[in-house]
Amino acid sequence: MSQGSNHLEPPLKMCSYKAHFEPGLSKRLVVKPSPIHRRLGYLLGLAAHPYERGVRSTEGEHIVDTYARYTRVTPVDNPPFENEYLVEITEKTPPISDGLSTHRINSGTIVKLFADTEDLLREAHSINLVRCLTSIPVPNVRQLLVSPIGSGMVDTYMVMDYVEGESLDKCWGKLGLISKIKIAWQLRGYVSQLQTIQTLIPGPVDGSACVGFYFTETGAGPFASYDDMTAWFNHKLSVNERFAPRPPGTKKLDTPNIAKFDMSWPLVFTHQDLCPRNIILSKDGSLCIVDWAWAGFYPAWFEYAGMKRYDDLPASWNFFIPFISGKLPLSNMEELHSKYLMGNRSWCDSLVAG
């Protein structure tokens, strides 16, 4: 890897790195709360979404085409943890939860394992962007470790500060109505901040392939433009309509008249998996957002679609999703997205795998 590169080549030996995000913005972006009448108006559907009011994430007066140029990775000679020790202590420490590759190696530190360097850097750069351009609490990334295991394969580790608190999937049911409303209001503010950060090119911060529930298991792209991503989705929709089995009660759409992917909304920064397990509630009532592995720049309605894809969450959580995500009016697109993107999971699988 060259000094200042925004990607990693498999090293010949264990090596630690630091990810940097250095945008050409003069100051950190902090979105101030809207007046109470505007908030209530938006809640009632009478006022515009915050990003439509001109809060900009720009260089000068122009929307940034891509933030990839502001990301880089540099080797670290004296990392917080020695490389060999970090690998050893991580292997000896059980995951903090079943099914998760995250280990708490001491009282203030966790280590998250990734499948490859692209996944590692994608999340690191996303977290750094959020820390730099918003006031949203996120973990602090302290060290990245890449350890070769032969045949061009590597083990990858991200060292982060441990976030004290309880995830919402464990405590939501114990909270009262007022506490839930406060959480929804706080999360709505977070999403509003994210949606002020816009680009012209879709995908992750570092320009790598798009990943997430609505893409293939190996990702899609990277796309050179919004049009390219739209064409990819429209192809999948067309293939799915012609060949995929449909859930009971739905009828086959006339292929020539099939609704198309909605690209009328700006590309805004999106978490894409804003579910209760990824939201940590601290004792002082503040919320920290974790797991930015799928984050990137996507149409503004993607956050809503990502939150609605779960069918096993409490009804009270689902009630707040439109308010939290800033769900936008999709007019005739609503049926398409509810069936193709938020409907039967097996149908979604055939959509993205076709």
Beta bridge partners of 114: 156
Q: Is 59 helix (H, G, I), strand (E, B) or coil?
A: strand
- pLDDT score at 65: 86
In the block, which residue shows the tokens 């839930």?
180
| 301-352 per-position pLDDT tens digit | 889 888 988 889 999 999 999 899 985 554 434 444 454 454 333 334 444 4
pLDDT of residue 221: 87
Rg, C-alpha atoms of the chain: 21
Confidence of residue 248 (pLDDT cuts 50, 70, 90): low
Q: Which residue has the higher pLDDT, 142 or 115?
A: 142
Cβ atoms < 10 Å from Cβ of 226 = 18
CB 113 within 8 A of CB 171: no
The 279-281 sheet, strands edge to edge: 166-167, 279-281, 287-289
Closest CA to 142 of 124, 168, 169: 124
Reading phi first (left if > 0) and then psi (alpha if -120 to 50, else beta), residue 54 is in left
Tokens 């915050």 — which residue? 50
- Are 172 and 317 in contact, with CB atoms under 8 Å apart? yes
Which residue, 223, 225, 198, 65, is CA-closest to 129?
Answer: 198
Q: How confident is the model at residue 136 (pLDDT cuts 50, 70, 90)?
A: very high
What would the pLDDT profile of 116-129 be if each residue is shown by its tens digit? 899 999 999 999 99
**Could you tell me the domains of the chain?**
1-23+68-162 (no CATH), 166-353 (3.90.1200)
**More confident: 80 or 48:** 80
Query: Amino acid identity, residue 261?
Result: F
pLDDT tens sequence across 202-213 = 999 999 999 998
* Dihedral sign (CA 117, 123, 124, 126): positive
Question: At residue 33, does pLDDT exceed 50?
Answer: no
pLDDT tens-digit map of 193-203: 999 999 999 99
Please list the residues that pair with 155 across neighbouring strands. Answer: 147
